[in-house]
């Protein structure tokens, strides 16, 4: 679908700045929008989050340079409901969430485009390193970014399928150094801006600070509990299972003959189970909260799955799939397959969907 007026989600970083610039250069009518996702009163003045006050100001400066209108949309209510509340609930359940996936699936695309239609926009663009495609039969989809070091398709499996024909990703065929060089040539204020490092709504860098604010006093996730070895014996005590994730080594105490890691979290008994590295291996994965762009895969189909950000994709066979559950066997066992994290599913370079890891 050819878009006449494109809304660009501008975080105030170099990627979204160059995205807007490339679309302007292509002769398209561009509207810049920055999301106000949460209250900034406790945010450090120069926080390196993607959605802080500095980001809003930098996005506006870039929009002025490019000669495009810029708006700030207050999406705090939607973002809190769909991202922050889910983040807190997942940690309370002993799982490790991925808030960027939730933001993309809800706020950054769907909520923005609904508001953007009031501005006459019929397409949306972001600075993700991913490629979009369209074929003659009208099918639209997503491919990995050409720069595998920056590819962000893993974070986009939750997008509503009906949005795919409306999406634009100008950076999908570029590398990060090429993007920065484009920004320098255009003299954009964001050209040398460092990448955001924290979860945007956790500016302190410690997600437990947020949990303490939003969970009820003496919530079990923040209360002491046992640390047990996989063989059952008591190793020690922790000060809240929400501070642990599968594969974690820090904070487990000493006295082991070999390195030990978190193997699983058991919220019902507030237990953190630890063991040696070989206990982290999983060859089967169960996934729920599924989303497919063009229908689910077939049982027996061989696909590739990515089980965490920056991890390589690995071959997997579909053992069973229905509307709410996907069961996979991995060709080779993988370390630290973590409940709550995303399982992105690919056919070659094409992202076909995914879900959240339920168990391994």
Q: What positions carry a catalytic annotation?
A: 103, 200
Neighbours of 85 (CB within 10 A): 13
Q: Report which of 275, 280, 267 is spatially closest to residue 307, judged by C-alpha positions.
A: 280
CA dihedral 226, 231, 232, 234 (to 10 degrees): -50
Structure tokens at 158: 């939750």
Planar angle of CA 33, 130, 78, nearest 5 degrees:
40
How far, in Å, are 110, 112, 205, 284 from residue 106 at the CA level?
5, 9, 23, 29
Give Cα 246 distance to the centre of its chain: 18
Q: Is the dihedral of CA 148, 150, 155, 159 positive or negative?
A: negative
């Amino acid at each position: 679908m050819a878009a006449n007026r494109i809304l660009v989600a501008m975080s105030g970083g170099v990627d979204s700045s160059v995205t807007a610039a490339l679309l302007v250069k292509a002769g398209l009518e561009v509207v810049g929008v920055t999301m106000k996702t949460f209250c900034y009163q406790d945010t450090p003045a120069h926080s390196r989050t993607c959605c802080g006050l500095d980001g809003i100001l930098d996005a506006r400066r870039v929009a002025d340079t490019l000669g495009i209108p810029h708006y700030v949309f207050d999406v705090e209510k939607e973002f809190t409901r769909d991202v922050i509340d889910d983040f807190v609930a997942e940690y309370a359940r002993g799982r490790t969430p991925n808030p960027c996936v939730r933001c993309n699936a809800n706020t950054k695309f769907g909520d923005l485009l609904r508001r953007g239609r009031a501005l006459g926009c019929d397409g949306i663009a972001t600075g993700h390193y991913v490629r979009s495609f369209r074929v003659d039969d009208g099918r639209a989809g997503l491919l990995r970014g050409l720069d595998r070091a920056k590819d962000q398709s893993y974070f986009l499996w939750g997008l509503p399928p009906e949005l795919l024909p409306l999406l634009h990703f100008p950076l999908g065929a570029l590398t990060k150094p090429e993007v920065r060089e484009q920004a320098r040539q255009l003299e954009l204020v964001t050209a040398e801006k460092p990448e955001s490092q924290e979860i945007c709504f956790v500016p302190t860098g410690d997600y437990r600070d947020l949990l303490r604010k939003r969970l009820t006093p003496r919530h079990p996730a923040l209360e002491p509990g046992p640390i047990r070895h996989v063989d059952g014996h008591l190793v020690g005590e922790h000060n809240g299972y929400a501070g642990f994730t599968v594969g974690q080594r820090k904070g487990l105490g000493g006295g082991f003959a070999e390195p030990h890691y978190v193997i699983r979290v058991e919220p019902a008994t507030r237990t953190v189970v630890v063991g040696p590295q070989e206990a982290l291996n999983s060859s089967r994965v169960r996934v729920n909260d599924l989303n497919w762009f063009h229908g689910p895969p077939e049982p027996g189909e061989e696909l590739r799955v990515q089980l965490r950000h920056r991890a390589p994709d690995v071959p997997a066979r579909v053992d069973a799939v229905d509307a709410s559950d996907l069961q996979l066997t991995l060709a080779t066992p993988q370390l630290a397959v973590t409940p709550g994290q995303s399982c992105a599913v690919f056919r070659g370079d094409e992202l076909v969907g995914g879900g959240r890891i339920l168990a391994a």
